Amino acid sequence: MSLIDPIAKRWSPRAFPEREPSEDELASVFEAARWAPSCFNDQPWSYIVARRSDGEAYEHALAGLVESNRKWAVNAPVLGFSLARPTFAQNGKPNRHAWHDVGAASAMLSIQAASIGMMVHQMAGILPDVVRERFGLGDELEVVAGLAIGWPGD
C-alpha cells in the first residue's frame, strides 16, 4: 500500500543523540496535535513538555517513567506526557472519547515529528501518580502516556 513518507518512516526509537530540537521544530510538532479531530471539537488534550536543558522539570518527567523506560529515555532531549480532560469544557459532562482524542492528537504530533526527521516514542510505562504530584496536576486531568522526543540515534 502507498503511504505518505512521514507515516511510512515513523518509528519509536530508544536511542537519541544529545541534540535538542529548536523552539520552532518543537512548536511545529505540538501545533500538529492542535489540528487533530476531536469529539465536538473539544480538544481535551494537554501536554507536559520538558527539555533536558530544563533541569528540574526534566528530572520530574524522568521520575514519572517506570524504571525500564527511564533507563533509555534519559537520553531523549525532550520528555513529556499526554493528558486528557475527561469532561467536556462547555458543559462539564463526561467525555468518554477524551482518551481516543488524545491518541489522535499524539498520532498527529508523531507524524509531524517524522516529517522533519524527529521521532516520538510513546510510552504506556508511566507512573501517573508521580506525574500528577511532580507537576501539580489537579483532578481535572488524567495522565495518558509518556513521550520521548528527539532525533533518532544509533
d(CA 84, CA 139): 11
Three-state DSSP state, 149: strand
d(CA 128, CA 73): 16
* Mean pLDDT of the residues in the chain: 97
d(CA 69, CA 105): 22
- pLDDT score, position 1: 85
- pLDDT score, position 70: 98
Range from 9-13, 29-33, 78-82 carrying the lowest mean pLDDT: 9-13
- pLDDT score, position 57: 98
Q: List pLDDT tens digits, range 91-119.
A: 999 999 999 999 999 999 999 999 999 99
d(CA 66, CA 129): 12
Characterise 115 by phi-psi region: left (phi > 0), alpha (psi -120 to 50), beta (else): alpha
d(CA 139, CA 17): 36
Q: List pLDDT tens digits, range 56-75.
A: 999 999 999 999 999 999 99
C-alpha cell at 34: 492542535
| pLDDT above 70 coverage of the chain, percent | 100
Q: List pLDDT tens digits, range 72-85.
A: 999 999 999 999 99
